[in-house]
Amino acid sequence: MSRLKTMEILSLVLGRFVGQDIPEALISGIPSQIRQLVVCSLTMTAEYARVLAKRAARVTELALMDCAIQDETLRELADGLCCDGKTGLRELDLSNNKITKCDALAKLVGCSPSLVTLDLNANKLRTTQADSNSFGAAFSSCANSLKRLNVAGGSLGGPFVLALSRALSRSRALVSLNLSANNIGTEGARAISDYLLPEPTALRELKMWSCGLGTKGAKELAKGLRKNRSVRSLDVGTNQLEAEGATAIFRSIWEGVEELWTFDNIIGDRGAEALAELIARKRCCVKDVDVSQNEIGKRGLMALSLAVAARIDPIEVLNFDWNNIITGKEFVDAIAAGMLDGGVKVLNIQHIKLGDEGALALAQELLKRKCGKRVKVGVKEADCGKAGAMELWRVQKELRAAGSEVRIVI
């Protein structure tokens, strides 16, 4: 490490040392002129954090990922980096650590007015009302610069999201927001809706899977989405939306949304029909749809298939896995109504009980479309039966030999 002191090094990446703690000499030898520092999968103690803060005073991009950082360690780091009242940090990644308290985080964020990216994924943060307010005040300091925020996998609730939305509403610079795996509920959904309402907003990606929205939360979120014209990617999977909540969201989002993930929400046929209405809109730009695990039956599947068939531009990816209300040949007949005619490029139907009869029917439907239609179908061999799986393999070989782009992934 002594050689590093004589070199003009601006970026440094440190990886795992056979599962050991970070060697003290390694930390103390980091060049003071360093601008980008990445430490991954090394155990960071409070003592090392104190030394690191002194060596990384001029760092603008700091990533300490999977370093077993605990609250005391982060407090030492924040005290060191904020000793002059201000840091030059533009990117901060503290994902996959053991941070639970917000005081040190609030201090670090509050002293970083130029922060553009903040990743706190998988830290199990816990916030009281007071914590939420202090965090909100901290975010106010970087509201004009913050574009990407990831706080997924914590224990953050509605009050935190409310404080966050109020702080960031002053500049509306945020481009990507990930709140997934936090029980923000109806209150949090209402706060995000309020953030979305005033135009213009720069937000293009909103991830809120497993946020405990429920039907009420979905309706609150829909109010903000109804007038929003910036969100391009929306993930509201695993939120118990059911048909009513899903329908509210599908009917509120604008045609510019390109990625829509609503997996594991029990939307049923009624929700699928509402989604079909969205897909069939003339200006609908959606390219990636995930409706896995939603108990969609024949009526909903037929509606989706016909909506896809009516599109001018094909859907890139449609995930329909784990929807076993309709199976076998009946399922294949439904998707053949539109999904196999080029309306979908990648169709995932894994964990659908096709059986031999359904798999053989699927093979025959694909044979009819040997004229170069681009379609990739993903199925599981266990769902096809031995004879059905062998026939699908044979058909794929025949089609590809004829120049077709059909791919069957088993």
Q: What is the CATH number of the domain that holds 373?
A: 3.80.10.10
Burial of 366 (0-12, 13-18, 19+ CB in 10 A): buried
* The residue type at 140: S
Domain that holds residue 390: 270-284+298-410
* The residue type at 14: L
Q: How far apart are CA 84 and CA 57, in angstroms?
A: 10
Average pLDDT over residues 247-274: 97
Residue 278 lies in a domain: yes
Residue 352 lies in a domain: yes
Element containing residue 166 per DSSP (H, E): helix 158-168
Element containing residue 92 per DSSP (H, E): strand 91-93
Residue 354 lies in a domain: yes
Burial of 392 (0-12, 13-18, 19+ CB in 10 A): buried
Tens digit of pLDDT for each residue in 89-111? 999 999 999 999 888 999 999 99
Residue 369 lies in a domain: yes
Q: How far apart are CA 85 and CA 108, in angstroms?
A: 10
pLDDT for res 106: 92
Percent of the chain scoring above 70 in pLDDT: 90
Q: How far apart are CA 164 and CA 157, in angstroms?
A: 11
Tens digit of pLDDT for each residue in 182-234? 999 999 999 999 999 877 789 999 999 999 999 999 999 999 999 999 999 99
Residue 35 lies in a domain: no
Contacts of 235 (CB under 8 A, 6+ apart): 180, 206, 207, 208, 209, 259, 261
Tens digit of pLDDT for each residue in 322-364? 998 888 999 999 998 888 876 888 999 989 999 999 999 999 9
**266-290 as b/e: b if 16+ CB within 10 A:** ebbbbbbbbbbebbbeeebebbbbb
Alpha-carbon Rg for the chain, nearest whole angstrom, is 25
Residue 149 lies in a domain: no
CB 97 within 8 A of CB 67: yes
Residue 327 lies in a domain: yes
Helices and strands per DSSP (H, E), number in the chain: 15, 15
Q: How far apart are CA 235 and CA 389, in angstroms?
A: 33
Does 22 or 199 have the greater pLDDT score?
A: 199
pLDDT confidence bin for 371, thresholds 50/70/90: very low
Residue 357 lies in a domain: yes
Q: Quote the number of domains for the chain.
A: 1
pLDDT for res 9: 44
